[in-house]
């Protein structure tokens, strides 16, 4: 008999956000870009995931909390395995 399960895994990832800045010079545009990013105030033109830079986390990178959980889709939403504490 075949049984189906699913794994949820916490990862760290890099994402790429494209945005524009209007300025009188490249240097001014770069300074404005830095200010907008630091202020969390950019208007995103579009967004990309960068799959090659998605890395699984280990429990020690997550204060000992689980970074992998295995579930049985036929059961409730409680994992039957965790690789760290809850």
Q: Is residue 25 part of a domain?
A: yes
End-to-end CA distance of the chain: 31
Q: How many CB atoms are closer than 10 A to CB 79?
A: 19
Does the predicted model carry a pTM greater than 0.85?
Answer: no
Q: What is the pLDDT of residues 14-60, one digit of tens each?
A: 999 999 999 999 999 999 999 999 999 999 999 999 989 999 999 99
Overall number of domains in the chain? 1
- Tokens 């992998």 correspond to what residue? 68
- Cα–Cα dist 21/42, whole Å: 9
Q: Is residue 1 part of a domain?
A: no
Average pLDDT over residues 54-83: 95
Q: What is the CA radius of gyration of the chain?
A: 20
Q: Is residue 20 part of a domain?
A: yes
Q: Which domain holds residue 68?
A: 6-82
């Amino acid at each position: 008999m075949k049984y189906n399960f699913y794994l949820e895994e916490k990862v760290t990832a890099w994402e790429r956000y494209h945005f524009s800045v209007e300025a009188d010079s490249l240097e001014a545009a770069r300074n404005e870009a830095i200010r907008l990013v630091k202020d969390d105030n950019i208007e995103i033109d579009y967004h990309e995931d960068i799959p090659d830079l998605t890395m699984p986390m280990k429990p020690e990178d997550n204060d000992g909390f689980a970074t992998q959980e295995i579930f049985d889709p036929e059961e409730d939403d409680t994992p039957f395995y965790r690789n760290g504490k809850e």
